[in-house]
Amino acid sequence: MATRKASKTASAAAGGGTKVTLDMVAAASGVSPSTVSRILNGTAVVSAAKRAAIDRAIAELGFVPNPMARGLAGGRTLSIGVITQAIDSPFYGAALRAIETELHAAGYSPLFVSGHWNPVEEKRCVDLLCARRVDGMIVLDGALSDDQLRNLADSMPVVVTGRKLRAPRLYSLDFDHFEGARLATQHLLALGHRQIAFIGGDPLHADATLRLRGYRAALKEAGVRYHAALVVAGDYRETSGQAAIEQLLARGERFSAIFAANDQMAFGAALALHLRGLRVPDDVSLVGMDDLAAAAHTIPPLTTIHQGPQELGRLAAIALLQLLAGGTPVATPSTPRLMHRASTRPLAAPV
Amino acid sequence: MATRKASKTASAAAGGGTKVTLDMVAAASGVSPSTVSRILNGTAVVSAAKRAAIDRAIAELGFVPNPMARGLAGGRTLSIGVITQAIDSPFYGAALRAIETELHAAGYSPLFVSGHWNPVEEKRCVDLLCARRVDGMIVLDGALSDDQLRNLADSMPVVVTGRKLRAPRLYSLDFDHFEGARLATQHLLALGHRQIAFIGGDPLHADATLRLRGYRAALKEAGVRYHAALVVAGDYRETSGQAAIEQLLARGERFSAIFAANDQMAFGAALALHLRGLRVPDDVSLVGMDDLAAAAHTIPPLTTIHQGPQELGRLAAIALLQLLAGGTPVATPSTPRLMHRASTRPLAAPV
DNA sequence: CTGAAAGCGCTTACAG
DNA sequence: CTGAAAGCGCTTACAG
């Protein structure tokens, strides 16, 4: 009782519900369905004459292969699962966009699902994607255990970001968080700052730990003592950056500069300073990390470390495609670099 | 030659590549495959005994129906296409997230594709989604013509936002852009402002036109003359807001307040003012529209009109689900409301 | 280089 | 209430 109306004009004009099948193409071009299938998949060499006839028939009939039949028969779906933490995050959004572009170009469709930083939800995402029989998965950060990931890679190629992990059919990919944080801190040190507050991320995540280490390494290199009281843990969201500064101020800590482990927390920190009547960069210098699109449009424009989530997404997609093709990916995210904007300035000479 | 390893432990522990089929479930529970299928789909009443046996078998074997086989045989994919303009947009991101949540809850999977405000790409999105045989589509704004949309609705249920359109199996849904813009302008007028600049969107889009009309209506109601020189068209992105203000300033226009037709342009406008040494709200009041998550964290926090893309996404998803179920959706987005924050203040008494 | 045939895992009239 | 059977639209060994 399908309500679906068969389009009278067979033309694919509207991109509508084409009902043309491979068998019809075969009949129209006088060859067997097998041959048509082979052409479609590049599975075998076919005589030029037949090839031409088939191509014409396909074009005339407006044939579009049915992915479900294809998937059922061929054992693949040409869809790949992408687990992200929040589809509306400014950071992941850029990565997703790059993944989408890259995958489509290769004939795959991404299936995005969000884990919301919640292990239980993330597990559900994995199950959903498995149920959908995706051909592979890209996991952007998240809280899945290394073991879960290895298990997953047992049944399909997997690319994961945000951690280092070696396993068959599994490729991991990450920014150099340590180096990025080191760079940011060095920048502040070079400007003469010595009392540098650090707003970090959740210490349970590897990237957060690495960023803290980068901060400490830079201090050490410069011979500046590490001061635990100047370090506050946030959760990478604006409000946590704001809260961190309020806490520091309430405790009466003194600092001339702040390094926030991501831009979103830097935005929150800037707001907290503003509400307290402190100006950036006149009273306090501020550095973020990630270089979100918004970083260039805040007041003042934020000095930050460029990490290109877009690039990460692209590399992850390409790596998965290589895995899918049976190859061994080698991807090297470009090294982090400082985007010097208006939120930092040399420390005013001490009176 | 599948490289895929059959998992030795049949448990679905890893959510891995389950190989259990409906036939196996049927065999294990001593009924026919047809009966198992019926239970799965709630297609028929089955005796309690058999039902229990089947449920047990499903649980024990860890059976998960293969969506492709299901789609092929049943004529549906349980996937629905979502055309968005940019997956990394702060505005659409929130809508996508809501759509994802709503659709998953109903057993459907969203397939997100981005049109990038480009009619050609959008058409490609439609084709891709049709090729994937989605059961329905949600189109967030965009440049597809009304006719294209009607054609599409010929072959499947469609929900579209950003315009008013009536057609069978088609439901359209939108914010009250006119009212929102009117509210924003009224707010500024109530604060005593009379010279109010307006940064609009692309006049080719209905929502942009409506926002401009709302602005004009409010002025008219207040007996304030409309001044074309105070109106600049942007493209809803930060840089266009910045450029608009620069242009106004370069032309020497005088204004004590600005209404930007969306938050992103308001952010850009704020930056342009800042670079010129003008302060918000001391020198110029600024109102945006949309109430992006970031609006509350800018300096100063932005007064804006709350539009809830999240709500729009939810309503769109629900409407499509109703269409899919053969029902007639009725969705009423809540009315826009003013979020009064720190970027606006009463006009200083004229000297 | 190319067919005929079986099969992928479900659903759905069709008959009890 | 429940089977047996055909079929959804492809792909892929298996034989030429």
What domains does chain B contain, in order, with CATH numbers?
A: 2-65 (1.10.260), 78-176+310-324 (3.40.50.2300), 178-307 (3.40.50.2300)
Q: Which residue has the tokens 């199950």?
A: A127
B-chain residues within 8 Å CB-CB of A64?
130-131
CA distance A45 to A28: 20
The pLDDT value recorded for residue A172 is 96
Question: Peptide bond preceding A336: is omega within 30 degrees of 0, i.e. cis?
Answer: no
B-chain residues within 8 Å CB-CB of A301?
271
Is 50 exceeded by the pLDDT of residue A17? no
Contact state of B68 with A72 under an 8 Å Cβ cutoff: yes
Using a 7 Å CB cutoff, list residues 57-96 of B near strand C.
63, 65-66, 69-70, 72-75
A62 touches strand D (CB under 7 A): no
Q: Closest approach of chain A CAs to the CA of B115, in angstroms?
A: 11
Mean pLDDT of chain A: 90
CA of B43 to C1' of C16 (A): 18
CA of A40 to C1' of D15 (A): 22
DSSP assignments along A172-233, one per residue: EE---HHHHHHHHHHHHHHTT---EEEEE--TTSHHHHHHHHHHHHHHHHTTPPP-GGGEEE
Contact state of B130 with A97 under an 8 Å Cβ cutoff: no
Does the predicted model carry a pTM greater than 0.85?
yes
DSSP assignments along A237-291, one per residue: SHHHHHHHHHHHHHTT---SEEEESSHHHHHHHHHHHHHTT--TTTT-EEE-SB-
A-chain residues within 8 Å CB-CB of B148?
14
The pLDDT value recorded for residue A315 is 97
The pLDDT value recorded for residue B350 is 57
Alpha-carbon A242 to chain mean position: 25
Is 80 exceeded by the pLDDT of residue A124? yes
pLDDT band of residue A2 (cuts 50, 70, 90) is very low
CA distance A195 to A258: 8
Instruction: Please give the span between the terminal C-alpha atoms of chain A, in angstroms, as a whole number.
Output: 85
Higher pLDDT, A1 or B203: B203
A69 touches strand D (CB under 7 A): yes
Which residues does residue B339 pair with via DSSP β-bridges, in sequence order? B304
CA distance A74 to B60: 28
Closest-approach residue (CA) in chain B for A20: B131
Higher pLDDT, A55 or B218: B218
Q: Closest approach of chain B CAs to the CA of A44, in angstroms?
A: 17
Q: How many residues does chain B have?
A: 351
Q: Closest approach of chain A CAs to the CA of B328, in angstroms?
A: 15
Give the residue among A224, A261, A219, A227 at the shortest CA–CA distance from A244: A261
Contact state of B72 with A68 under an 8 Å Cβ cutoff: yes
Q: How high is the mean pLDDT in each 10-residue block of chain B (351 residues)?
A: 33 50 92 91 80 90 90 89 91 93 91 90 91 93 92 94 91 96 98 98 91 98 97 96 98 98 97 96 97 94 94 96 91 94 88 48
pLDDT band of residue A204 (cuts 50, 70, 90) is confident
Using the 8-state DSSP alphabet, how is residue B79 labeled? Answer: E
The pLDDT value recorded for residue B18 is 54
The pLDDT value recorded for residue A349 is 66
The pLDDT value recorded for residue B45 is 78
Q: Closest approach of chain A CAs to the CA of B269, in angstroms?
A: 9
The pLDDT value recorded for residue B217 is 98
Contact state of B109 with A132 under an 8 Å Cβ cutoff: yes
Contact state of B15 with A274 under an 8 Å Cβ cutoff: no
The pLDDT value recorded for residue A88 is 87
pLDDT digits (tens, 9 = 90+) for A298-322: 999 999 999 889 999 999 999 999 9
Mean pLDDT along residues A197-220: 95
The pLDDT value recorded for residue B12 is 36
> Is A180 within 8 Å of A215 (Cβ atoms)?
no
A-chain residues within 8 Å CB-CB of B87?
87, 93, 96-97, 100, 112
Contact state of B267 with A297 under an 8 Å Cβ cutoff: yes
- List the single protein residue with the shortest CA to C1' distance from D7: B73
